[in-house]
A = this chain, B = another copy of it.
Amino acid sequence: MISEVLIVPMRMKLSYRVLLRRKVLFFETILGSTNPILLSDCVLAGFSRKLVYRGWSWGRKGLSMEGDGAKGLACQKTLDGKASNGNKAVPSCCLKAMSCLPEEDAKCHSTVVSGWFSEHSRSGKKGEAVYFNNPMWPGEAHSLKVEKVLFKDKSDYQEVLVFESATYGKVLVLDGIVQLTEKDEFAYQEMIAHLPLCSTPSPKNVISLTLKVLSLWLPFVMIEAQCAYLFSVRVLVVGGGDGGVLREISRHSSVEVIDICEIDKMVIDVSKKFFPELAVGFEDPRVQLHIGDAVEFLRKSPAGKYDAIIVDSSDPVGPALALVEKPFFETLARALKPGGVLCNMAESMWLHTHLIEDMISICRQTFKNVQYAWSSVPTYPSGVIGFVLCSTEGPDVDFKNPINPIEKLDGAMTYIREMKFYNSDMHRAAFALPTFLRREVASLLASSS
């Protein structure tokens, strides 16, 4: 009755892997080894202090945990089941994340076997299968039943897996982390695209000037001229190789150019083959595809080129290592026009509030206005995903109230395919924060509009 089941680690797209790989490089250096090393082993072996002394950025509060205000909501405070002592301990969610090396991830495909399990624990006795979850979310797992594995390969950057699930349609997994499922992809794609784009005026709609002039040669004749000046609106997508974000941006007819910079061509190819409803986004003539490193791409871009940038990075590697640090946000800000907007995927409010604080804090140093929004996406960890929205110095942007409501854009709701999740009510609602999160980030957002 049941054929194959994959325990898929829940999704976390951005920051952890960056930190992880940086740590790995670091340890490769200090240990003089080219083999991948489990960071947890290193920490247990007494290297953790060096991490601190070398000043690796584990967040605004360094390596400290959240205060009592977030009791019960903080990152897991255990390391392999044992409580850590003192405030300077590495949250085990991060610590365990660090132990999730790419080489470890590569074994994830072996998880698609009969039964519900992911990978074998080293601590299991010989012959005894002990199963555990992705270390990013210790103590829990979300499992999807696999009907059929459709694609499995390793690109230059990551392991790419596509399988047909029993109840969520086709699923894209990168390095063992679910990126999207056909059943709920639209919630993420629509929100990450329209939250920023509906927060900025649509030039075709608003820069429509009606000039009424009294004729010089016929004094009593009023000449009415309409001057609709079109800005060349440009949007950049960082990552987003599945095409889903492109599909959503395409609904905005005011957008003239959609640049996308995706580092991994295999993701695009796989999407075109297995996820045509997402890859359709690439077919829009306004899309200009750039295969390569987004940081490099942005450095070469003229300052003030983009009206909006959407960071949908699936798994930053190589030059993208810096994707969650201040220099990257400065690069993004530079590439934006005055009043331009950024939307960046930003964690789960239930699992990693301190990382949300960090990201908001970093963005506040660079941007004029920073806000946080969230949405329901069942196949992401804890069932939610967050977004940090920023705007540069320039015209004020009120993210919470869409100035450019999607319902008023001609044909936008049905372009390519009907919208399924986002609407102006959902836009406004996305900025309502639960009290526990509000307490953590209120002071950071206080001076934002």
Contact = CB atoms under 8 A, between A and B. Distances in A.
Interface stretch (A135-143, A280-288, A358-366): A135-143
Contacts of A73: 183, 420
A434 B426 contact: yes
Contacts of A132: 1-2, 5, 116
A425 interface: yes
A199 B384 CA distance: 26
Interface in A131-189: 131-133, 137-145, 147, 165-169, 182-184, 187
B182 A168 contact: no
* Dominant secondary structure at the A interface: loop
Contact of A72 (B183, B425, B426): B183
Contact of A145 (B140, B425, B426): B140
A133 B139 CA distance: 17
One complex includes copies of this chain to the number of 2
Given A73-B183, A131-B5, A168 B143 contact: no
A123 interface: yes
Nearest to A426: B432
Contacts of A187: 434
A141 B121 contact: no
Contacts of A382: 376, 378, 383
B183 A168 contact: no
Residue among A73, A115, A128, A183 with max Cβ neighbours from chain B (10 Å): A115
A116 B76 contact: no
Greatest chain B CB density within 10 A among A76, A419, A420 is at A420
Interface of A: 1-3, 5, 7, 72-73, 76, 78, 80-81, 114-118, 121, 123, 128-133, 137-145, 147, 165-169, 182-184, 187, 350, 374, 376-378, 382-384, 418-423, 425-426, 428-436, 438
